[in-house]
Structure 1
Amino acid sequence: MKKKIAILFGGQSTEHEVSRASASSVLKNIDQTKYDIYPIGITKDGLWFEYTGEIDNIENGEWEKDEYFKRPEGQKVIFNKEVDVVFPVLHGLFGEDGTIQGMCKISNIPCVGAGVMSSSVCMDKIYTKYLLEKFNVKQADYVVINAHEYKENKGLLIERIEKELGYDVFIKPSNGGSSVGITKAHNKSELITGVEEALKYDRKVLVEKAINAREIEVAILGNDYPQASIPGEIIPAKEFYDYEAKYKSEASKLLIPAALSYDKLQIVKEEAIRIYRILDCAGMARIDFLVDKETEDVYLNEVNTIPGFTKISMYPKMWEASGKTYVMLIDELIDLAIDRNNG
């Protein structure tokens, strides 16, 4: 008997469009001889629909124009059907942050990927840092800004950043992904502009000292016995790997394997697995590192519990280079979700 798989896409986060592209790739690669597929689209307004139209219309956004949705019976919720596994291809808030995972847990439905705690901690860059500091995971120096503190003590906070970090710095919303709202500041004016831009997306902002580094990524797969892929390297088209360099520019390059020595590649893989276990991740994650160009010190950049699955995304590409096809990868993720739920 075929397993019933609900694939969630879209969502209310700033990564709505990226989610649609990822879900389109998953739907085109999942083995439909094994599974009955229920694509569930979530609009930016939070409406849930079961979508049965053309897959290409998911990626280009045309799915929301389907006449079916204009009728009352068009609106669905996932729990109206018997579902064996939920596969949330939802990046960012309201999908990657533990909310969907909690809903599935309450309903006792296996969910692909990390659980509630792990998802919520990994989504929040600041709390990821706080937790991993206890385990001596090497990270860039940083300062945390809260919206109310910035409003009341803007001058003092800017002074503190300049004193503790200097320039250059990266400014990031604490909860976000796909580099949305992230900027790099080379001076005070850019710092202020960057902080105020990041505060549009979150009430907490992370300011990190910039490292002259190479961007190295590792794909992790598994529950209690996670495996690491061959690491890959990002060579961004711009000064750093922002949203445009990730999804709009064809000049960014992806190298698999990363151009590091064998010993350094092993160190990166081992550290990725250690971090994955510390954070109690499950199913999958992409661990991103910065490797200093001069010292080759390895710094954690961030952890993504629902990495991109688009046709250009590193997660499936790294596993393909490691011997797992896209189809095999999806099968394993579904099995891992069931095993975790049963365990």
Structure 2
Amino acid sequence: MSKKLRVAVLFGGKSGEHEVSLASASSVMKAMDHDKYDIIPIGITQEGSFLLGQAALPMLEGKTEQAEINRLQQMMPAVTTGTHALPAFHREEIDVVFPVLHGTYGEDGTIQGFLEIANIPYVGAGVLASSVGMDKAVSKKVFAEAGLPQANYVSFLKADLVRNQEAVLARIETELGYPCFVKPANLGSSVGISKAKNREELIEALALASAYDRKIVVEEFVPAHEVEVAVLGNDEPEASVPGEIVSSNEFYDYKAKYIDGKSVMRIPAELPQDTAEQLREMAIRAFKAIDGSGLARVDFFIRKDTGEILLNEINTMPGFTQFSMYAKLWEHSGLTYAELVDKLIQLALERYEEKSQLRTDFAAE
């Protein structure tokens, strides 16, 4: 009998998306095969403390049933229990890490850099792709260089707003007009995003966004269908069928995504075949533009008036419950949730093995 893989599942984190991470991690661990994996839960509190093994499971209460928590306890190696300021990650104790962390300190390259230094394989994008994908201002520049069409936008620092608010407001009104969307540059799950229809609302929206990030992005309003494509793979990624979001609110905000449960996913999206293929091709181009690996969800607008496709953003660790759009897109593309989790772990190990072949020394020939 082959040795079971020891998979550390990281969840929680110091992020506005802490709760989303708990739900995603609960689904991931529930899908793991007891015969294939030993699970090492590692919870990160909102204060930044690390909880290992059974000490981490109370964080998941309310996200999964007690029977499932009991099952997870049976899948845990006995050696990983306790509370630590920072856990010791050892290659001989952990085969691969599944960082189900969304947003700040999880999806932005910080935890990925730590795992690179620890020399441990991990699921998902590397340091560069994570940090570029997280920063909407930087990723928009990268996508523009790759020739991918996008909506008009402006970006600036919170310091610019403090120094000369009037100049910032005038620039937004001149270049974009109303309505417009105001976003923290480095956050996901629609946290801190507002739609502004006039100057008063714009000022409020800027204050909200700047409470979450030092960098702000403001985008023109595009009357459009919101369509998403899931990407899976490393150097030769594949794209899923497109899916459309029909939001229960004025736009697809945090409440529409996670609270009221009234938004509708249309999978596959009702699109002409050539449009669907174009979306899939553009999703892969976006994934490769940031040097993605593992997984990503790429979000698009399709203009209602012209049918033009505009790239909105890329998410390198999208919501990952079995009911999330990413998982549902692959389910409709022929991959079950459990198979998706298995595939991502396999891709992480393949990427690690490939990187292990690279030289890290210098010797004169």
Q: TM-score range by the shorter chain?
A: over 0.9
Cα displacement (A) at 1:294:
1.4
Residue in 1 aligned with 2:298? Answer: 287
For residues 137-184 of structure 1, give each alpha carbon's deviation from its aligned partner in whole angstroms, at most 9, with x where no partner exists: 111111112111111111111011111111110000000000000000
CA distance in 1, matches of 2:50, 2:20: 18
For residues 4-51 of structure 1, give each alpha carbon's deviation from its aligned partner in whole angstroms, at most 9, with x where no partner exists: 100000000100000000001111111121011101100001111113
What do you get for the CA RMSD once the two structures are aligned?
1.7
CA distance in 1, matches of 2:19, 2:143: 31
For residues 166-203 of structure 1, give each alpha carbon's deviation from its aligned partner in whole angstroms, at most 9, with x where no partner exists: 11100000000000000001111111110111000001
TM-score under structure 1 normalisation? 0.94
Contact 2:156 2:215 survives alignment (8 Å) = yes
CA distance in 2, matches of 1:294, 1:210: 13
Label 1:169 to 1:99 Cα distance change in 2 as closer, same or farther (>3 A).
Answer: same
CA distance in 1, matches of 2:38, 2:53: 13
Q: Higher mean Cα deviation, 139-148 or 232-241?
A: 139-148
Residue in 2 aligned with 1:155? Answer: 166
Residue in 1 aligned with 2:217? Answer: 206
Q: Is 1:227 equivalent to 2:238 in the alignment?
A: yes
Contact 2:25 2:321 survives alignment (8 Å) = yes
Contact 1:17 1:59 survives alignment (8 Å) = no
Query: 5+ residue gaps in structure 1?
Result: 64-72
Q: Is 1:86 equivalent to 2:97 in the alignment?
A: yes
Amino acid at match of 1:236: S
For residues 220-249 of structure 1, give each alpha carbon's deviation from its aligned partner in whole angstroms, at most 9, with x where no partner exists: 000011000111110000010000000011
Residue in 2 aligned with 1:17? Answer: 19
Cα displacement (A) at 1:60:
2.5
Percent pairwise identity: 51
Paired residues, what number?
Answer: 334
CA distance in 2, matches of 1:56, 1:330: 23
Residue in 1 aligned with 2:128? Answer: 117
CA distance in 2, matches of 1:307, 1:34: 25
- Choose which of 78, 82, 98 in structure 2 pairs with 1:74: 82
Q: Is 1:28 equivalent to 2:30 in the alignment?
A: yes
Q: Is 1:46 equivalent to 2:57 in the alignment?
A: no
Cα displacement (A) at 1:311:
3.8
CA distance in 2, matches of 1:341, 1:156: 48
Q: Is 1:324 equivalent to 2:335 in the alignment?
A: yes
CA distance in 1, matches of 2:11, 2:102: 9
CA distance in 2, matches of 1:292, 1:38: 45
Contact 1:115 1:282 survives alignment (8 Å) = yes
Cα displacement (A) at 1:74:
2.0
CA distance in 1, matches of 2:270, 2:173: 34
Q: Is 1:102 equivalent to 2:113 in the alignment?
A: yes
Contact 2:54 2:82 survives alignment (8 Å) = no
